[in-house]
Amino acid sequence: MREPIKYVLLTASLGLLLWSLYKIGYVLPLEANVAAYQILYLHVPSFFAAFTGFFLGLFASGIYLATGNFKYDSFAAGANEVALMFATAGLASGMIWARYAWGIWWTWDARLSSMLLCWLVYVGYLFLRKSVEEPTQRARLSAVLSIFGCVNVAFVYKSIEWYRTQHPSPVLSFRNGGDHMGPGLEAPIWWNWLALVCLGVVIAMVRMQQGEMSREIDALRRQAHSY
């Protein structure tokens, strides 16, 4: 944690999260037409941050394949890991809400199962990273899987429109074209998204440095053995 950019991002993220927590708790109306809708301000941004992470992972993997620079492999690993964490948070918050609003923890609805699938794809990604020991091979194979995974996420995201679903329909203005929620209610979602993305980038950067360091240690160890 030496570069100031990380501190800036971390402070911005925590500040934004606190500010939106205050807004959600004290400023926004308590009642709306959806029960306990406030959890939406964590639920939706978590998934947005997760998708952002998967896309960053895709780009980093592409850059790795093009340049062969291990820095991008580490960043892709970090981004996908953090994104998986946000996806878990999104799923968990959704389950808690479902228990409150529907009375059940889980239902095999298209949106829920498709998100669970994305989650499983990236769990597979982490498994793959764990099971390959040779760094070049690991980087190459996981970059390919990351690209496949991201295309699958896009495919699945599109596919939820083909099923009938019991999940509340999209409420954000860019999806339904109108102000279903009103700008005052919608704004904290976007701010929280920004906050979570900043937080994710900080964690991914730390992971990246960790990866670089472990590669360095590996190289030194190999050097020591060769004497």
Partner 1 sequence: MYLRQVLTIAAKDLRAEWRTREAFNASFAFMVVILVLFSFAFDPGNSDISIPAIAGGMLWIAYSFAAALTLNRSFARELQNDCLDALLAAPILASALFFGKALANFALLMVMEIVSLGVFSLLYNVKVLAQIWSLLLVIVLGTWAMTVMGTMFSALTVNLRLRELMLPVMMYPFLVVPLSAAITLTSDLLNGISFGAENILWLKVLVFFDVLFTSLVVLLIDVVLVG
* Residues near partner 1, by CB under 8 A: 65, 113, 117-118, 120-121, 124, 127-128, 131-132, 136-137, 140-141, 143-145, 147-148, 151-152, 155-156, 159, 162
The least CB distance from residue 93 to partner 1, in Å, is 22
Q: Could you give the maximum distance between any two Cα atoms of the chain, in Å?
A: 71
Q: Closest CB to partner 1 among 154 and 172?
A: 154
**Contact criterion met (CB below 8 Å) for 40 and 98:** no
Instruction: Give the tokens for residue 46.
Output: 């978590």
Nearest residue to 201 (alpha-carbon basis) of 34, 4, 59, 56 = 56
Residue 78's identity, in one-letter code, is G
Shortest distance (Å) from residue 131 CB to partner 1:
5
Nearer to partner 1, 94 or 149 (CB): 149
Q: How far apart are CA 175 and CA 149, in angstroms?
A: 23
Give 25 or 124: the residue with its C-beta nearer to partner 1: 124
Give the separation between CA 14 and CA 197, rounded to whole angstroms.
11
Q: Whose Cβ is closer to partner 1: residue 63's or residue 128's?
A: 128
Q: Least distance to partner 1 from the beta carbon of 114, Å?
A: 8
The separation between CA 91 and the C-alpha centre of its own chain, rounded to angstroms, equals 11
Describe the crossing of helices 110-131 and 40-67 by its angle, rounded to 10 degrees.
40
Closer of 7 and 127 to partner 1 (Cβ): 127
CB of 104 vs partner 1, minimal distance in Å: 22
Least separation in angstroms between residue 144's CB and partner 1 is 5
